[in-house]
Chains A and B, each alone.
Chain A
Amino acid sequence: MSVDSTLFFYLSTIGYFVAFLCYLLHATARRTVVTEALATVPLHADTPSRWGRWATWLTGTAVVFSTLGVVLRTLELSQVSGWFMPLPVSNTYETLAFFSWAIPALYLWFEWRYRIKSLGAVVTGIAFVLIAIASSPLVPQDVTPLVPALQSYWLVAHVSFTLVGEALFSVAFAAGLILLWKVWRGTPWESLKRFDEISYRAVALGFPLFSLGGLVFGAIWAQNAWGRYWGWDPKETWMLISWFIYAIYLHARVRWGWKYLRATWLIVIGYLTTIFTWFGVNFLLSGLHSYG
C-alpha cells in the first residue's frame, strides 16, 4: 500500500513545521509594527501580516492532512482487527497522531474566535514535535490488530476525551507561555488580558472533557475489563494529580481572582504533569497502562 495513513501524517509533519516557521516570522514581523501603534490600534485586531496569513492557511492544510490520516487509520485498523474502533487510539503512534491533529484543529477555532495569531508558533511547535517523534524510528508505525483489553468503546471514549481535553490544555499552555514571555519582556499588563482569558477559556472547555475521559470513562473501562474502577496505578494517580492541579487553578481563579502570573504558573505546572502522565509514567514507572 503506497497511500496509507502514515503518508498523510508525514505530510502534516511537514505542514506543521512550515506553519511553525511562518508563525515565528509573523511574531517577529509584527513586533516592529505594533509597538508604536499600540495606543491606537484596538486590541481586538491582531495586526495582520503576510506571514500570519500563510501560517494559518498552512496549519489548516496540515490539519486536513491529519484528518485524512486519522480517517484512513481508522479504516486500516478496523480492517486488520475486524472490530470497528471509531478513532485510532490503540497505541503510542496513533495517540500521538490523534493528539497532533486535535491541538492545531482546536487552536484554529481559538485563532478565529479571538483574532489572535501569537499562540500559533507554540501550538504548531508542540504539534510538530509530537508528530515528528511519532513518525521517527523511535515509535513503531505498524497497524497492529487490537489486543483483547482494547476492544471496548469505553476505551475509545476514555482516550479520545482525555486527549481532546489535553489538547485544549495545550492551547492554554501556549497562551500561558506567551504571557510569561511577554511579562519577561516587560509588556504592559493591559495587552496581556487576552492571553489570560484564552488560557482560562481553554482550561474551562478542556476540564470537563479531561474529567469525563480520564476519570469517568477510564473508571468504567477498568471496571469492565478488570473488575476494579480505580487501582492507584501510577498512570491513574498522575492523571488525578493533573486533575487536582487544574481544579486548584479553577478554584483559585474563580474564588480568589487569581490571574496573569500566578494563574499561568498553575497552568504550566498542570500541563507538565499531564505530559508526565503520558510519557514520563511510561518510561519511569510501570503499571497496567502499558499500551501507549
Chain B
Amino acid sequence: MRCPVCHEPVPEEGNFCSHCGAKLLKIEEKFGLNAINEHQQRVEAVAALLVGKNCGACGFASCAENAEAIVRGTSGYDSCVASDPQAREKIKALLNLEPKVSGWALLWRWLTSVRLAIGLILALTVISVVGTLIPQNAQPLSYIDKFGAQGYQWIQFLQLDRLFQSWYFLAFLFALLVNTLCCTIKRSRVSYRLLARPMPDRSALEIARMDQHLSVSLGAPPTSDVLKRVKGFLEHFHYHVVQSDARLKAHKRRFGRLGVDVLHISLVVVLAGAAAGSFTSFEGFQAAHQGETFEVPQGGFSVRVDNLWSESYANQSRVKDWFTTLTVLDDGREALTRTIQVNQPLTYKGVSLYQASFGSDWWDRGKYTVQVIRNEDGKDLGTYEVDSNASVYVPLAQFELSYVTFFSDFAVDENLQSYNRSKALNNPALYLRLQGADGTDKYVWAFAQNEMRTLYQTHLATAQAYQFNLVGMAADQFTGLQIARNPALPVIYAGFLLMGVGLFLNFYWPPHWVWVTVDEHTLQLGANAKDSQAFELGLRALVNELACRDKNVDVQPDVQEEVIYVR
C-alpha cells in the first residue's frame, strides 16, 4: 500500500508513514465500508491506490482520469501498469462495493481492452499457422490422398481448405477491426485533449513520482536565474517551454502522441479497403497470341495483342524481360496502345493487365519436323512436318504420323514413367502415333538429342522398324496476361500511407512532456518519456550544465545515481 500523502510505498501493518510521518488511513477507515457510496469518494479512494505517475500507459491523460473511469466501469481495475498486485486487489475490492455499473460501460471496457486485442491476434496467429500447414484451395483429391476420406470431411466441415476465407477467420478479423476502432476512439479523445489544451499542472509531489525524475539541491536561495537557465537548456533541445511563477512546463514532438492513433486508423482503413475489394475486385488470366483480340467483359472493352517478344541477357539463356504491345479497343475505337512488361502493367478504366508469363505454345501451335529412318538398311525416308492439329502420311513406309504430345524437358521417374520436367527446352521429345495402312497402331518417341536417340533405340524401343528423329521444331509464342481490377486499391494505398505516418510518429517521433518546479531548496524536474535512455542522458547533461555554471548548485551524487540508473 502507499501513503496517501507522499505516495511512497509503506508496509501494510504500520500506522504511520515511514517517509513523511503522516497517519496512515486504511481505506475502510478513511471512508468506512458502508459509507462508500458517494461517487467522488470512490474515485478518490481508487486514485489513492494508483501509483500517481501520470504516465498515461492506461490510455488516460492522468491517474485521476483513470480512477474516474475505473469507478465508472470503462477501465479495468488492473489497468494501471505501475500498480502492484496488492493495490489491484484493493481496487477490485472497492469496486465490488459499487452498487451498479452500467452494462454499456462494461461492454465498452471489453471492446476497448488490450486483452481482447491480444486474444484476437493470438487466434488469428494460430489460424494462420494452420493455414500454411494445410495446403489451401487445392483439389479435393489431394486432401483425400493426404488425410483420407474421413479427414477430408473434417477439413470441409471446418473449412480448413479455405481457412483465410472461412467465416470464423473473417469473424475474428472483423472483431479485431471493431476492437481497434473502439480503442482508437477512446485513445484519440485523450490525444485531442492533450494536444488542443495547455499542458496540465503537476505538483512537486506528482513530479517526484514520474518515470524520469531529477531533484537538484540548491545551495543558495532559489533565484529566477536557475529557472531561466533550465528554460534555456530545454529550449536549446527544442522544447516549447511555458513559464509561470516557479514552474516550467515544456514539451516537444508532441504530435508523436498521435502515432498510435494514426497507426490504428491506418489498419482499419487497410482492412476496410480489403473488405471492400473482396466484393468488387476480380482476377483473371488470359493467354493470347499475336494478332488476337480478346474481350475484357469486366471493363467493357477488348484488347488486341499487336506484338509480343522476349529479351534475354547477352550470351545467356536467362530471360531479361517479356514484352507485349497491347491496343485497347473501346467501342471499336483504338483507345490506347502501350507496351507492358513485368512490373509495369497497363491500366484502362480501372482494369490492369499484367505481364505474367510468356512462352512457346508447343501444345496448340507447335510445328515439328520429324526425320524417318528405316532401321533395316538405314535408309533416310525423308523429313515430314507434324502439326499439333494435323497428321501427315509417310508414303514410303505406308503409315500416318500424328501428334500426341510434346515434352520440352523429357525425363523418366523411378517407375519408368515419362514426364515433362520443366518448360525449358532442355530435352525436347515428341510423342507420335503411327497408324499403318495395314491396321497397326503404335506410339513412339522422337528425340532431338543424339544421346537420347541412341538410348531410346538401344534400351527402350528395341526391334523397331523405324527410327524417328526430331530435327526441327517451332511454335507460336503466347503471352500470359493477368487481368485484375480492384476499385478499393486507392483506399488500401491511402491506408499504407497513413501506416507509414503512424509508424514514424509512434516509433521515431516520441513526445516528451516535462514539468519543472523550484521551491526553497530543490529544483524538481520530471517527465514521462518512452525512450528513457535518451532522456536520462539529457538529464545528466542538464545536471552538468547547472553544476558547472553555478557553484551554489549542488547535485547530490546519490540522487543522481538513483535518477540515472534505477528509474
Contact = CB atoms under 8 A, between A and B. Distances in A.
Interface size grouping (class) on chain A: 35 or more
A148 B354 contact: no
B117 A251 contact: yes
B565 A151 contact: no
B114 A256 contact: yes
A210 to B, nearest CB: 10
A90 to B, nearest CB: 12
B11 interface: no
Contacts of B565: 42-44
Interface in A191-222: 197, 201, 204-205, 207-208, 211-212, 215-216, 219-221
B334 interface: no
A272 B341 CA distance: 37
Given A80-B313, A147-B318, A244-B121, A224 B128 contact: no
A227 B321 contact: no
B125 A152 contact: no
Given A211-B503, A216-B499, A248-B121, A148 B320 contact: yes
B507 A205 contact: yes
Contacts, number: 129
B376 to A, nearest CB: 49
A234 B496 contact: no
A9 interface: no
Interface in A227-253: 227-230, 232, 234, 237-238, 240-241, 244-245, 247-248, 251-252
B223 to A, nearest CB: 32
Interface in A152-194: 152, 154, 190
Interface in A58-116: 80-82, 113-114
Contacts of B122: 244, 248
Contacts of A149: 342-343
B356 to A, nearest CB: 7
A151 B561 contact: no
Interface in B491-508: 492-493, 496, 499-500, 503-504, 506-508
Contacts of B544: none
Interface in B516-544: 531-533
A223 B489 contact: yes
A251 B57 CA distance: 10
Contacts of A114: 533
B500 A216 contact: yes
B125 A224 contact: no
25 contacts: A82-B320, A145-B320, A148-B341, A148-B343, A149-B343, A151-B342, A190-B566, A197-B532, A205-B508, A223-B489, A224-B344, A225-B342, A227-B483, A229-B486, A232-B164, A237-B128, A237-B132, A238-B132, A244-B124, A248-B118, A248-B121, A251-B118, A256-B114, A257-B57, A257-B81
Give the top 3 A-B pairs by smallest Cβ distance, nearest first. A227-B484, A148-B342, A257-B81
Interface of B: 57-59, 81-82, 114, 117-118, 121-122, 124-125, 128-129, 131-132, 136, 164, 274, 283, 313, 316, 318-322, 341-345, 352, 354-356, 482-484, 486, 489, 492-493, 496, 499-500, 503-504, 506-508, 531-533, 561, 564-566
Interface of A: 42-44, 80-82, 113-114, 144-145, 147-149, 151-152, 154, 190, 197, 201, 204-205, 207-208, 211-212, 215-216, 219-221, 223-230, 232, 234, 237-238, 240-241, 244-245, 247-248, 251-252, 254-257, 281, 285
